[in-house]
Amino acid sequence: MNSAILSAFKRIFLPLKTRKLFRLASDTSGNVAMIFGITAVPMLVALGMAVDMGNASRAQQKLAGMVDAMALASAKGHWDVNNRSAVAQKFLDANLTDGYGPGLTVTDVSVTFNDETRKVAVTVTADVPTLMMGIAGIDKLTTSVRSTVSYEVHASEPVSLGMVLDVSGSMGWNNKIGTLRTAATSLLDRLKLADPDDEYVRSGLVSYYSSIRNTESMDWGIDHTRSVVQTLYASGGTRSTAAFDRVSDWLLDPIEDTEHESQPVHEGTEYELHKFMIFMTDGDNNYSSDDTATKALCDEAKDEGIEIFAVAFEAPWRGRQLLEYCSSSESHYFDAQDSAEFLVAFEQIGERIQQSLLRIVE
């Protein structure tokens, strides 16, 4: 029916009121607006879902990297049966930031060790808040990420450790020398636990006052070094250069690398030799020239790949400055204000060296 016929039909046959209703029904001028209004809400919801799903996907990808790192850290700490499950949570607490997604909330962390299969599984569940899906009553999206890592139950990477320990007269105050013996013994015992057969760890020690007092050259295991630690006593002045030079020479000598290469446990395998120094003092060098000379030796050692842990034990300003300069990084420097902090510093250093002994399989 064309428009002219329809118009005539309405004029002739429809009463006034009916014609008004018909006119309203046949008016198409507002249809577009009506249709848009009806479809706008689902369109916005769909667009919001795309935005929110994209945010959740990005958060999951970032979280996956975090969970992988948590699993690696847990695997490296598997030896500490009483505390190993807490390693992943500590790592998460230290590293989770808003960069993983605004408002992201971790709701569950699961860490499962299986010493028979030598695997640790870490699962993290988190809620990601939505921006647009709230229109549909969805205020969060839940994501879960899992990572599984295998680990060795014994040492598999070689370590060479040289210790440069201050035994000057001030170490006798408040039995600081006794604290040093306790801290160093505990650290060495930790390495023995990881390498009971003395196949991966070599160690040595030089103690110093105004000259060198004790020298225990690099050799396999820790027993020889531990025995010297038990005999340390405090007296005399403070000059660090000769002692640091001695230990640095040991670690940089090609013989040290050859000793590890000749070990049967490395035959046919790739490995990375880790070289560490522990340098500590509780005072200033008697001569500032020793600060300058020791710093030069520290630069050389670090340039050659030696990791230097430096521990100040209630040390004055110049001593702290020397140790902070010599440390391989900010995390390698410890400023112990009392015996308790000194013991904690050596415990943390021992843990980090022990972790370097362990090879992550996957």
Which residue ranges make up each domain of the chain?
Answer: 31-150, 159-356
Least confident of 3-12, 196-205, 219-228, 327-336: 3-12
Task: Return mean pLDDT, the chain.
Answer: 84
Radius of gyration, CA atoms only, the chain: 35
**In the structure, what pLDDT confidence band is assigned to residue 130 with cuts at 50, 70 and 90?**
confident
**In the structure, what pLDDT confidence band is assigned to residue 48 with cuts at 50, 70 and 90?**
low
Residue 18 in tokens: 């009916």
d(CA 279, CA 322): 10
Average pLDDT of the residues in 265-269:
85
Nearest alpha-carbon partner for 286 in 236, 320, 329: 236
State the helix-helix crossing angle for 288-303 and 317-326, rounded to 10 degrees: 20
Average pLDDT of the residues in 147-155:
71
- The confidence score (pLDDT) of residue 275 equals 98
**CATH classification code of 159-356:** 3.40.50.410
Burial (Cβ within 10 Å: 0-12, 13-18, ≥19) of residue 168: buried
Average pLDDT of the residues in 286-309:
98
Secondary structure class of 105 (helix, strand, coil): strand
- The confidence score (pLDDT) of residue 347 equals 92
Least confident of 75-79, 144-148, 163-167: 75-79
Q: Which residue has the higher pLDDT, 217 or 2?
A: 217
- The confidence score (pLDDT) of residue 4 equals 43
Three-point CA angle 311, 160, 70, nearest 5°: 70
d(CA 169, CA 223): 26
Residue 330 has pLDDT above 90, yes or no: yes
Sheet holding 140-150, edge to edge: 105-114, 119-129, 140-150
Number of H helices, E strands in the chain: 11, 9
- Whole-model pTM: value is 0.65
Residue 112 has pLDDT above 60, yes or no: yes
Contact between residue 164 and residue 213 where contact means Cβ atoms under 8 Å apart = no
* Measured CA distances, 216 to 163, 228, 229, 239 (Å): 10, 7, 10, 18
Residue 123 in tokens: 């699962």
Cα four-point dihedral sign 150, 155, 161, 167:
positive
d(CA 361, CA 60): 24
Residue 99 in tokens: 């960069």
Contact between residue 308 and residue 332 where contact means Cβ atoms under 8 Å apart = yes
**In the structure, what pLDDT confidence band is assigned to residue 101 with cuts at 50, 70 and 90?**
low
Q: Which helix (H) or strand (E) holds 321?
A: helix 317-326
Residue 26 has pLDDT above 90, yes or no: no
